[in-house]
Amino acid sequence: MIGLFVSAFMVDVLSWRWTFLLPVLLAVVGFAFTLRFVPNSAERQSHRFDTAGSLLSALAIGGLVLGIQEGPERGWGSTVAIAGLIVGAVALIGFVMVELRSEAPLFDLREFRDRGLACGSVTLLIIFGAMFGSLLVLFPFFQAVLGWSALGSAAGILPMAAMMMPMSTVAPRVATRLGSRLTIAVGVGVFALGLVVLALGASVEGGYLSVLPGLLLFGLGLGLAMTPSTTLITETLPAHKQGVASALNDTTRELGGAIGVALLGSVFSSGFRTSMRPALQDLPREIAEPASEGIGRAFDVAARAGDDAPRIIDAAKHALVDGWVRSMWAGAAFGVAALLYVILRGPRSSREAIVVEVPAEATS
């Protein structure tokens, strides 16, 4: 949340280009602090690093994300989209084969036989994909349709965060009472319901109140599902593999976010163009085509379109909402798929929470 507000402040006060410079500065500071304060590890590995697995996983993720993102933009038959999907699929198959045969794999895929580990990973993958993909679409709605600043748009998601953060702290206790599977299932169900409410309620005329109920449900479901899912991952693997558990937890979140942004962003862009073209079909081609490329481009074209400007802006706002609705339905569909997976393949019994007991003499 802090990064979101800092980035929004820089966009409003400085320039959007500063948002790309800030991570570089933070990385330099982090590098300096690491050299100064983090001690060297005394651990000595008895096996080689899984170079092949690392390269294949990077190719798989990069290729699939590239193909998903460029397909709607360039056409699913374009060279870039096809090449990305083929490279990603081949690399993914190669990664699975290498990991199953390696004596020291980057990650032993056989661990996914554990229902808890698989359930936690799949849940985090999908809900983070939906969250990042939804935020990608939400900010253009705030800025282009409602006319808010970047800082105001960041404030617009505070109600979602206000539901998500407290629920994340309550979720472990709920999971202890009801079990991990039921808790995660309820959380995923509420989060999917939030996406449905967003799809049904969003409108140009309704303003912020048209999306607020969906945001509240969305945040509530995320908070309820995230913490138990993370706990399933960390509790499944033994103590000497907690580094692997932490890496898997982070990877599922980041991978889900990358795929969610690419997938829901592609659905949104496709819906925007599909809505804009018939709305501007009687305008000259040199106006209609660039205005259909995206909301920002439409506003730029409108600034030079004279008497047609109000019409282009109005069409762009409604097209943005149309693309929004399609992307929310896509996210809801993945949410339902995750819900079914949790119900059918979730852990059979609840896992006990890890409780550290303090000896009585230590408190006296």
**Residues 51-103 pLDDT 10s:** 888 888 889 888 888 887 777 667 777 888 889 889 989 998 998 888 888 77
- Please count the structural domains in the chain: 3
The domain that holds 281 is classified in CATH as 1.20.1250.20
Q: Which domain holds residue 193?
A: 114-349
Same domain, residue pair 59 and 183: no
Instruction: Tell me, yes or no, whether 361 lies in a domain.
Output: no
Residues 183, 299: one domain?
yes
Q: Is residue 230 in some structural domain?
A: yes
Q: Do 326 and 256 share a structural domain?
A: yes
Q: Does residue 37 sit within a domain?
A: no
Torsion of CA 13, 14, 19, 21, to 10 degrees: -150
The helix-helix angle for 212-236 and 180-201 (nearest 10°) equals: 150
Q: Name the pTM for this structure.
A: 0.77
Q: How far is the C-alpha of 171 from the C-alpha of 208, rounded, in Å?
A: 28
Question: Do residues 262 and 144 both lie within one domain?
Answer: yes
- Give the model confidence (pLDDT) of 121-145 as tens digits: 888 888 888 888 888 888 888 888 8
Cβ(317)–Cβ(204) under 8 Å?
yes
Q: Are residues 100 and 230 in the same domain?
A: no
In a domain, 363, yes or no: no
Verify that 154 and 185 share a domain, yes or no: yes
Q: Are residues 247 and 127 in the same domain?
A: yes
pLDDT at 354: 38
Rounded distance between C-alpha atoms, residue 364 and residue 361, angstroms: 5
- First-last CA distance in the chain: 40
**193 and 85 share one domain:** no
What does the pLDDT look like over 135-180, one tens digit per residue? 888 888 888 888 888 888 888 888 888 888 888 888 888 888 888 8
Is residue 202 a contact partner of residue 325, using CB atoms and an 8 Å limit?
yes
Cβ contacts of 178 within 8 Å, gap of 6 or more = 350
Q: 343 lies in a domain? A: yes
* 40 within some domain: no
Please indicate, yes or no, if residue 354 is contained in any of the structural domains.
no
Q: How far is CA 313 from CA 7, 186, 318, in A?
A: 26, 40, 9
pLDDT (tens digit, 9 = 90+) per residue, 291-348? 777 777 788 887 777 777 888 888 888 888 888 889 899 889 988 988 998 888 877 6
Do 255 and 287 have their domain in common?
A: yes
- CB contact burial 25-43 (16+ within 10 A = b; e otherwise): eeeeeeeeeeeeeeeeeee
Asked if 295 contacts 273 with a C-beta cutoff of 8 angstroms, the reply is no
- Interacting residues of 9 by C-beta distance below 8 A, sequence separation 6+: 150, 151
138 and 285 inside one domain? yes
Which pLDDT band holds residue 41 (cuts at 50, 70, 90)?
low
CA distances from 14 to 2, 7, 223 (A): 17, 10, 33
User: Is it the case that residue 360 has pLDDT exceeding 50?
Assistant: no
Residue 308 counted as domain residue: yes
